Amino acid sequence: MGRKLNNSEQIKEDVEELSTLLRAQIKSVDRDRIRFLLLLKQGKYTTQKGAAEAVNIGLRQAQINWKTYRQEGISALVGNKPIGAPTKLSQEQLDQMEERLKADDIQFLHEAVDYVQQEFETSYTLSGMHYVFKRLKIKKKTGRPSNINQVEEDREDFKKNLPS
């Protein structure tokens, strides 16, 4: 039966590599993950619980980070990870929907939901379509209000005689 490796021996990167990687991190979450590994590698803490408390992350999160590191390596702990569920529509379908919206025949969210259902056979709720529009930065376009009593000729005269 072989000797069981402690946490420090299971970390492949050396202290200098981890320190360099720590300084390169922009997100505090990624810094905490690297600092957690660094403390274990330096031997300042022999347990995951102690290192987690020093970095101010929960024990369960430390265990998840450790498992991720052991299975996938350091690159899995840092970097851009997608947040949330993937979109139901491809980029091509989203572009097609934006073109349709520019045609100005879709006025309401429920009409957009119906269009996506018929065209792409994908169902969205009203709130789901709202978030699609929000992500695409599509806003409702409305005309500016104007006085119902204004006279067109007077408005044109005002524009012509306006000092520059």
Pair (12, 67) in one structural domain: yes
Tens digit of pLDDT per residue, the chain (164 long)? 444 457 777 888 888 998 998 898 888 899 999 999 999 989 899 889 999 999 999 999 999 999 998 898 888 888 766 666 778 899 999 999 999 988 888 888 999 999 999 999 999 999 999 999 998 898 887 778 888 888 888 888 888 888 86
- Its sign, for the CA torsion 89, 90, 96, 99, is positive
Does pTM top 0.85 for this prediction?
no
Residue-level pLDDT at 133? 92
Q: Which residue has the tokens 């300084």?
A: 23
Evaluate whether residue 103 is within a structural domain: yes
Evaluate whether residue 142 is within a structural domain: no
Give CA torsion, residues 62, 68, 71, 74, to 10 deg. Answer: -100
Domain count, the chain: 2
Residue-level pLDDT at 1? 46
Pair (66, 15) in one structural domain: yes
Pair (54, 113) in one structural domain: no
Q: Tell me the DSSP string of the chain.
A: -PPPPPHHHH--S-HHHHHHHHHH--SHHHHHHHHHHHHHHHTS-SSHHHHHHHHT--HHHHHHHHHHHHHH-GGGTSS----SPPPSS-HHHHHHHHHHHHTT---SHHHHHHHHHHHH-----HHHHHHHHHHTT-----PPP--TT--HHHHHHHHHT---
Residue-level pLDDT at 5? 54
Pair (98, 55) in one structural domain: no
Evaluate whether residue 159 is within a structural domain: no
Residue-level pLDDT at 82? 61
Give residue 3's identity as a one-letter amino acid code: R
Residue-level pLDDT at 81? 64
Residue-level pLDDT at 3? 47
Domain that holds residue 107: 91-135
Yes or no: say if 25 and 35 are a contact pair by the CB < 8 Å rule.
no
Evaluate whether residue 111 is within a structural domain: yes
Pair (53, 21) in one structural domain: yes
Residue-level pLDDT at 95? 92
Pair (131, 100) in one structural domain: yes
